[in-house]
Each structure stands twice: as C-alpha cells, then as structure tokens.
Amino acid sequence: MGIASIWCLALILIKWLASKRRGAISYDSSDQTALYIRMLGDVRVRSRAGFETERRGSHPYIDFRIFHSNSEIEVSVSARNVRRLLSFQRYLRSSRFFRGITVPNSSNILDDDYNGQAKCMLEKVGNWNFDIFLFDRLTNGNSLVSLTFHLFNLHGLIEHFQLDTMKLRRFLVMVQEDYHSQNPYHNAVHAADVTQAMHCYLKEPKLSKSLTPWDILLSLIAAATHDLDHPGVNQPFLIKTNHYLATLYKNTSVLENHHWRSAVGLLRESGLFAHMSLENRQLMESQIGDLILATDISQQNEYLSMFRSHLDRGDLCLENANHRHFILQMALKCADICNPCRTWELSKQWSEKVTEEFFHQGDIEKKYHLGVSPLCDRQTETIANIQIGFMTYLVEPLFGEWARFSNTRLSQTMLGHLGLNKASWKGVQREQSGSGDDVDPTFEEMDSDILPQEPRLS
C-alpha cells in the first residue's frame, strides 16, 4: 500500500473519530446570558439543566496574544474559541499526537516493590504526618486517584452508594488529569493533600459520630475537586486580562465557580451517580458547590465571623444537617490552607511551591506591563515574609477557632506545628534582613476582625 493511500486512510479515520466527538461547553460572548453546547457543525442548543457545567476540557486557557494590537485580537478570536474547548493538558497531548511525538503515560504499572510501599503508606492515611510527596512518587504521580479511591473504600462509600468501581476510577482519573501538572502548587498533589487532610478532620470525634455517608461522600469529592482545572494564576489576573471566566462569573469567586462547574461536568460525564434519582444528583451538585465556594479566600472574614459567632453562642448542633454542612465548609477551608500546620519538612516544600507559582504570575504581569499583583514580585517579596503574613492573618485565626470547636490532639498538633513553622520562617527572615519584625504589609490590609485576641481552646 502506497504512502498516499495510508494518508488517505488516516484522514478518514481522523474524520470518523471527530464525528464521534461529544459536545463541549462553550461560552458565546455575543450572548452573555447563556452558555451553549457547541456541537459538530456549530449547532447551538440552549441547556435546560438549570445551570451549565463546565465540561472536561473547558480549561481557562490564557492566550497572551490578547495583550497585542486589536487587529491581532480579531484574527485570533476564532482560534482561541476552538482551543478553549480543550484543557491545556488535553490540547498539548493532542498536538503532540498529531505531530507524531510520543507522550509519556503517567499511569504506567508500578513494580511490586513500589506498590507495596504505597499500600503500606495508605494504612497510615489518617496520620497527620502523612507525606503526600513520597506517596505521589510511590504511585508514579497517581496520588490523587490512589488515595481518594482508597478513602471511598475505607469509608464504605462504594458499598453504601452501590458505586461501579470502574466508573469511580474513571471519574478519579479524569479529575487527576484535569489538574495541571505544570502548576508548581495548584496541581493534583495539592488536591490529594487536601483530601488526606479532610479525611483526618472527618475522623475527629465530634464529626465522626455525627456525619452521615452522604456528608462524607460530599466532603471527599469536594476536597478532590476543589481546585480542578486551576490555571496557575489568581482571580485578579483573570479579571484584569478580561478572561472569559471573569465575565462569565461576574468577577465573583471566578476560580471557585469554575472548579465547581468543572467537577459537576466530570460527575455527569463519568455517570458515577447515574443510578441515583435526578433530585439526589442535583442536591449533590449543589452541596458540592457550597463546599468548594467556601474555599474562596476573599470570603474568609464572612465564614470566620459566622464560625466564631456560633462558637460564642454555643449553638452548633451536629444533628442539624445545615450545621453539619457549615462545619464541613469550615473543615474544607482548613484543609485547603493547612500546609503551615504540617511538619516543617512538608510545610517548607509547600511554601516554596506556592511562592514559585506567585512569582511566575508576577513575571508574566511584568512582561505584559499589567502591574504586578501583591505577593507576586520576586524582586521585593521573600518566601519568609509571605509565609509569616499568611500564617498571622489567615491561618492562625482560622485554626484557633477550629481548635475551639474541636479541642483534640490533632488540633493541638496543628497549632504546635504552626507556631514552630512561623518561628522557623522568622529565623530565615532575620537572616535575610537582620530584623524579625517585618511582616508583609499586604496581609495587614485584611480586616483585623478575623484575629482573635487570645486563642480560646475551651
């Protein structure tokens, strides 16, 4: 068979595969009141599902050509709309495939030795010193899939909700793939770390005796998907670059809304809960959204104020489903920013990774003359200053109140690590500046009401 014939057959095969491609969610900027499902032939159909998911592959692609001339923007709009239908990860893979470049498979089968070590670690998954970085290496980069699947089984969720294990694994693989491995911090390892922390909180005596399987299911899914498809830049960056997600969500909890809708899209695509009633599925999607939206750090004051008021009045009743849901929101908030409460060896690694991501955004902002966001300028900021401010104005107030709610050995351990890590960063700060009194002024602008006068552990 000649080369020409082979190419013809290849083109026919590609066209056939394209004809089988499922629709993807697309935002049409000419009509900002609706989302459309873009089908083959550019047929558009309004959704009647109540609200739109963001289907797998709707990654908030950052196209830096928007910073050039208007004529360039007009030329690139159609191309940008097409690329938006694929996540960056999937676009990269498909591009390499058609260029004939082999893409390494992250799901290679591990040898028995590594599998054995990973299984041994999972036996201690409830230990606060759990090393997620080591676990990720032992699972060949599949920490989120391995850990979350294990927790579903450990909590009896597979049996209780009659879940198809193949669908569950497919869902978790899709979730892990839609985190961006090129992000230093907001990647699948962070999601696995947050999920492990959430498991530790679910085991706390006050919660473990009150939570239902439904509560645990929502908590683990929300933890695993809380930063799904994160682009590695923050909300102000999306707003000032006029990103389509900022427009879609009206500049409010932009990333958190995207994470939630993306998670719902994967749940629907996987069919994991297709055997449940429509009413239960819609309730699940809504409550997962409540949990993920609570991780918006700009809403910290509001949630912390409510939490403190409940604790002051002593009126939290975990027999009440609404109160349990609120506590799960606070637990996920704690899990999301618990890095400073880990051991120094783990906490330091996370601090370096998140700062690297901040600085990368700052470099982009400098390059395109956007104005560097707070904490993102590598010329004026240091890891020590950022971490001391973060601990002082965000982490300490939240975990101080959590310890009031759940005054256990775990809470005291977390506060102990927090104090030691802060002292360590102050030591680094003194070495760098000769003074231990410098705190990043960015954090001082936050509402002082979130700071307790004294930690109350009653």
Where in the sequence numbering do the catalytic residues fall? 186
Cα 173 to Cα 188: distance, rounded to the nearest angstrom: 11
In the block, residue with structure tokens 């899914």: 221
In the block, residue with structure tokens 């208007």: 70
Nearest to 136 by CA among 191, 178, 182, 204: 191
Q: For 70-115, give the DSSP string.
A: HHHHHHHHHHHHHHHTS-HHHHHHHHHHHTTPPPPPTTPPPPHHHH
In the block, residue with structure tokens 């979130």: 450
Residue type at position 147: L
**Long-range Cβ contacts of 264-267 (<8 Å, 24+ apart):** 264/53, 264/54, 264/288, 264/289, 265/25, 265/53, 265/54, 265/55, 265/56, 265/58, 266/56, 266/171, 266/174, 266/175, 266/178, 266/225, 266/228, 267/171, 267/221
CA atoms within 13 A on the CB side of 271: 5
**Cβ distance 381 to 375 under 8 Å?**
yes
Residue type at position 352: E
CA atoms within 13 A on the CB side of 350: 25
**Cβ distance 385 to 438 under 8 Å?**
yes
**Cβ distance 58 to 262 under 8 Å?**
yes
CA atoms within 13 A on the CB side of 187: 18
**Total residue length of the chain:** 458
Sheet arrangement for strand 24-27: 24-27, 35-38, 44-46
**Cβ distance 333 to 198 under 8 Å?**
no
